[in-house]
Amino acid sequence: EPEVTQTPSHQVTQMGQEVILRCVPISNHLYFYWYRQILGQKVEFLVSFYNNEISEKSEIFDDQFSVERPDGSNFTLKIRSTKLEDSAMYFCASNQRTGTHYGYTFGSGTRLTVV
Amino acid sequence: SQQGEEDPQALSIQEGENATMNCSYKTSINNLQWYRQNSGRGLVHLILIRSNEREKHSGRLRVTLDTSKKSSSLLITASRAADTASYFCATDYVQGAQKLVFGQGTRLTINP
């Protein structure tokens, strides 16, 4: 079964540092997403990406965040200057198309710890 | 507004029993999806039910959807220890689309 792959599985970074979280979506999927889950809380939408541009973003996704699909296979989330409150599990997801029929495939996540 | 609120927040049952989790939401949806998350791991898609469907089955899973009450239930029959996980409903709603809104989840524990 095709998978969404995320790397690294765990990253520890110092406050103020930049981090890049990487994802390889399923190859024939067209829509890509980042979600995050702070420990013990619900999964929250960050951003959706289609046709090489952001299609929707949440209030969480401020100027410190950016996404990119640099080479047609990887999908990255960059946090420019990390804060303690950015510590969370970050999930990448993809689906073939939006609408009524399609579930999302999630990666296994990157646990980001900001110290 | 909040979507996808599950209840109960935690459920503990004996192996072999059935587990029922409920989810309520507030706005019109395209579909409602259920996901499982083992502790500290990724989200696994279990089942999707469209807004024009009322019931759906997949193996030991049965999902119902009542759009008039804006609620859904997930039933796991003949539970196993391996079913221990958190279960989330997520709504893919009509306006604004292209994102899932998750509830807080139900933490299910199956006791051997």
Which domains are delineated in chain B? 5-111 (2.60.40.10)
Domains of chain A: total: 1
CB count within 10 Å of CB A72 equals 8
Percent of chain A with pLDDT over 70: 97
Nearest Cβ partner for B104 among A42, A45, A104: A42
Instruction: Answer yes or no: is A111 within a domain.
Output: no
In a domain, A107, yes or no: no
Query: Cβ neighbours of residue B62 under 8 Å, at least 6 residues apart?
Result: B55, B56, B74, B75, B77
Specify the CATH number for the domain of residue A54: 2.60.40.10
Residue B45 has its nearest CB partner, among A33, A44, A103, at A103
Q: Does B103 touch chain A (CB under 8 A)?
A: yes
Please tell me which of the candidates A58, A100, A108 has its beta carbon nearest to residue B51. A100
Q: What is the pLDDT of residue B1?
A: 33
User: Pairing between strand B29-37 and B85-93?
Assistant: antiparallel
Give B111 to chain A, closest Cα distance, Å: 22
Banded pLDDT at B95 (limits 50, 70, 90): low
Averaged over A42-59, what is the pLDDT?
A: 92
Q: Is B112 on the interface with A (CB under 8 A)?
A: no
Pairing label, strands B5-7, B19-24: antiparallel
Are B108 and B21 contacting, i.e. CB atoms less than 8 angstroms apart?
yes
pLDDT band at A57 (very low <50, low <70, confident <90, very high): very high
Q: Does the distance separating the beta carbons of A107 and B42 come in below 8 Å?
A: yes
A105 has pLDDT over 50 = yes
